[in-house]
Amino acid sequence: MFSMNFSSDKTDDGKNTAVHVRFMEMALAEARKAMSIEEVPVGAVIVYRNEVIARGFNQREQRQEPTAHAEMFAIREAAVSLRHWRLQDTTLYVTLEPCAMCAGAMVLARVATLVFAIRDAKSGACGSLWNIAQDPRLNHRLEVIEGVCGEESRALLRSFFHGQRRKPKYAGPPNSP
């Protein structure tokens, strides 16, 4: 139930590596916030004109909300910050390859660039299982850079899931009255 396959066979091409690392470290700080409340440690930040305008971390368990992913919080906050739903010229940094929902939201929001740390072989939608972020049939495509701070993200996720395996399995929702 809690096992995930994390891999990354591509790395950043070197373009803006120091900048990417700086912002990915901020996304990792968000991931640690998620881990501190026993959420899957995924964090995201959105950058516009070299400034962080939005942050997010996973909160599905805390909120009992299936769409409470790090990227979704960051996208919503960025739209408020820019006062526009089009997030053109922004870069979204996230510690794990986005799922189909989050990749779709990035396409719809017109995010320019996605930078992620590691692939998610079980639900990744930006190159692993699907490539929604660069699908030519859609009206917008993102530049995708992967592998930035991959080891740090992988270690955080492995630590979290190692701890989860030691806990009793989830038995399902409570009985209704």
Q: Examine the residue annotation and report whether 30 is marked as an active-site residue of this protein.
A: no
Q: Give yes or no for residue 14 having a pLDDT over 90.
A: no
Q: Which of these is catalytic: 71, 146, 151, 152?
A: 71
Q: Give yes or no for residue 128 having a pLDDT over 50.
A: yes
Tokens matching residue 53: 């305008």
**What's the pLDDT tens digit per position in 79-104?**
999 999 999 999 999 999 999 999 99
Q: Give yes or no for residue 9 having a pLDDT over 60.
A: no
What confidence score (pLDDT) does residue 164 get? 79
Of 112, 33, 98, 107, give the one whose Cα is nearest residue 69.
98
Query: Angle of helix 100-109 relative to helix 70-82, nearest 10 degrees?
Result: 10
More confident: 164 or 4: 164
Cα angle value 133/12/150 (rounded, 5°)? 90
User: Which residue stretches of the chain are H helix?
Assistant: 17-36, 60-63, 70-82, 100-109, 150-165
Q: Give yes or no for residue 174 having a pLDDT over 80.
A: no
Bridging pattern class, strands 143-146 and 43-48:
unpaired
What confidence score (pLDDT) does residue 70 get? 98
Bridging pattern class, strands 43-48 and 51-57:
antiparallel
CA distance linking residue 114 with residue 159, whole number of Å = 25
Bridging pattern class, strands 113-120 and 90-96:
parallel
**What's the pLDDT tens digit per position in 54-80?**
999 999 999 999 999 999 999 999 999
